[in-house]
Amino acid sequence: MYSNFRAIGISYKNTPLDVREAIAFDENQTKQFLVQAKEVLGLEEALLLSTCNRTEIYFVASDEVSERLASFVDVFHGVSTSNPSASYFIQMNQEQATRHLFNVSLGLESMVLGDIQITNQVKKAYQWSADEQMAGPFLHRLLHTIFYTNKRMVQETTFRDGNASVASSAVNVVEKFIATYTNPKVAVVGLGEIGENVVENLKSVNAQVTLINRTHEKAEKLAEEFGFEVDSLDNLDHVVSDAHVIISAVQAPSPIITASMLEGNHHPKMLVDLSVPRSIEDAVESVSGVILYNVDQLQQKASEALEKRRQVIPQVEQIVTESLNEFNNWSQEMEVSPTIKKLKQALEDIRQQEMARYVGKLSDKEAKFLEKATKGMIQKVIKLPVLQLKAACKRGEAETLVGVLNDLFNLEEEKSQSSN
């Protein structure tokens, strides 16, 4: 069973954004897909991870269904057969899939190295899988090992230190700026990819946050998700005047926030320009009490954090390797557990047959004594084969020993008889 664990996936590394968008899954779609994939393709366990940067499916199946599963994604989303996403999916065997999920979950595969959000996204995907009874023994053990490894990484390395994206760097300087305010007001103007990242990073900041976007519906959707407020682009002058911090991530040919909009400024104010070309006029810094950060300054902070993270990648990879070795030992032992169970049952059958020959001739006291003695003998007899099997697993030689035990004790015949 466990050697039948595989994965298929696409990511920002090999797949265009429009293709990734076409097959993205929300919570309801994820759960529906898991149920349907079990019914149609016979998946025994499955985890579906879908973010803006990747869609990956990790699964256990008795048959090789990777190609059919990729095509099923297109069918589920109604993707045109003339432009299928299935051709972008990379297939992974058990060894590749387990290491890849470790690396993804810890942020080693993220667009922003060490991205902390991906761990939470994996936890959600795991919960959704469990909700639909699609997380079995293998996935439960794998995911809990990954979460423990993540904890070790945070405690033992500096991999997650600093702010390694422009959005997180921006929120970091904002948070320090508003620390002394009783009721700080933050406005985010423009909700493209960078603006969305800013909003996600602001969710833990203690401030009144207002979102402004050309497409009002998108602002309302994000505001509802994070508990923020919404205003109109037509009301930008008032928002700029009222806010303590304005973060602009607008795509515009010329600045939409100018020094004239800040005339009569009555409190310290920070403006953060994440746009290229710039959407905030340089002259705003000439206004008393106004601080301006541009994307280059924040990118420098992010680059410094990224470099520090790159330096500790070998430490993180060593922790991953240690966890993988431990997990693989468990997985290999699970491969031979059916043989161990059959061996125990075969010996127990022999014990009971022999007990049946004598128990009628014995007193209750003698029968109990014989029961205890024979059970003890069986436990001692089976101890060495079990230890040898587990040791063989670690050497990668379990298959040979399983074959020997099957032949010696007719375990396959025992199995067929017990199932009849």
Catalytic residues: 52
Q: Which residues contact 382 (CB under 8 A, 6 or more apart)?
A: 343, 344, 347
Q: How many CA atoms lie within 13 A of 406 on its CB side?
A: 13
Question: How open is the CA angle 298-299-301, to the nearest 5 degrees?
Answer: 65
Cα 407 from Cα 170, distance rounded (Å): 67
Positive or negative, the Cα torsion across 238, 190, 296, 110?
Answer: positive
Cα 339 from Cα 337, distance rounded (Å): 5
Enter the DSSP assignment of 89.
P
| Helical packing angle, 411-419 and 313-358, nearest 10° | 70
Cα 75 from Cα 59, distance rounded (Å): 18
Spatial contact of 79 and 26, defined as CB atoms under 8 Å apart: no
Q: How many CB atoms lie within 10 A of CB 84?
A: 18
Which residue has tokens 């797949």? Answer: 15
SS (H, E, C) 327-367: HHHHHHHHHHHHHHHHHHHHHHHHHHHHHHHHHHHCCHHHH
Positive or negative, the Cα torsion across 57, 120, 111, 148?
Answer: negative
Positive or negative, the Cα torsion across 359, 365, 366, 371?
Answer: positive
Q: How many CB atoms lie within 10 A of CB 229?
A: 13
Positive or negative, the Cα torsion across 373, 379, 382, 388?
Answer: negative
